[in-house]
Chains A and B, each alone.
Chain A
């Protein structure tokens, strides 16, 4: 079983739409959680950390459900510039000392 699983998409949505991505992780000892954004042929960049109580950063909202081992990212009022691949990342430290990456969910926002 993969450490982190994401729906690869692609998601094609019109500008202004709300879109949600989901991610599940297998290791219940996982300690920290992130969403990264990766543009085509570029390095991953941190979008936001995910906290147990849920957190919001402008149009982006992240949620964590430890009982179901599930992470989500909600993007409201989608912009053309949101088009990218979104990576779910889980850190299993102290048992693993490494980040596990999902394969990513592709989003294209259409004019």
Chain B
């Protein structure tokens, strides 16, 4: 059982470039989330989705976009990369909005 899978694991971007972080889960969870984690800080919610076709902003959405065309996939798009987006990004999913979340292995992104 793969759980939550994120790709890529590492990426270096130049300022102004764009990229998509991929996330897929095989647990048939309705709820999916994108977080970023900066050194010494807690995880901050970027976007979340409560089901296919439904997305909503979290605490730090600026500079990011998401889509949820299927239950399994929840990609995160960075359109114009900035150094402030250097971080570790985690995708997560949960069965309901009050049960535990399962995390992918993370994507370490550096913007230079």
Spell out A's residues near B (CB within 8 Å): 4, 8, 31-32, 34, 41-46, 49, 87, 89, 91, 93-94, 97-104
Spell out B's residues near A (CB within 8 Å): 31, 33, 35, 40-43, 45, 48, 50, 56, 58-59, 88, 90, 92, 97-106
Pair B98/A44 contact, Cβ less than 8 Å: no
Q: Which B residues touch A100, using CB under 8 A?
A: 42
Pair B56/A103 contact, Cβ less than 8 Å: no
Q: Which B residues touch A45, using CB under 8 A?
A: 103
CA distance in complex: A93, B104 (Å): 22
Q: Which B residues touch A42, using CB under 8 A?
A: 105-106
CA distance in complex: A97, B54 (Å): 13
Task: Indicate whether A98 sits within 8 Å of B45 (C-beta atoms), given known contacts A44-B90, A46-B100.
Answer: yes
Q: Which A residues touch B98, using CB under 8 A?
A: 31-32, 91, 93
CA distance in complex: A4, B43 (Å): 11
Task: Indicate whether A93 sits within 8 Å of B97 (C-beta atoms), given known contacts A43-B90, A99-B33.
Answer: yes
Q: Which A residues touch B106, using CB under 8 A?
A: 41-43
Q: Which A residues touch B56, using CB under 8 A?
A: 97
B103 CB contact (under 8 Å) in A31, A43, A94, A97:
A43
Pairs across A and B, CB under 8 Å, 18 listed:
A8-B40, A32-B99, A41-B88, A42-B106, A43-B105, A44-B103, A45-B103, A46-B101, A89-B101, A91-B97, A91-B98, A93-B98, A97-B50, A98-B45, A98-B59, A99-B92, A99-B101, A102-B42
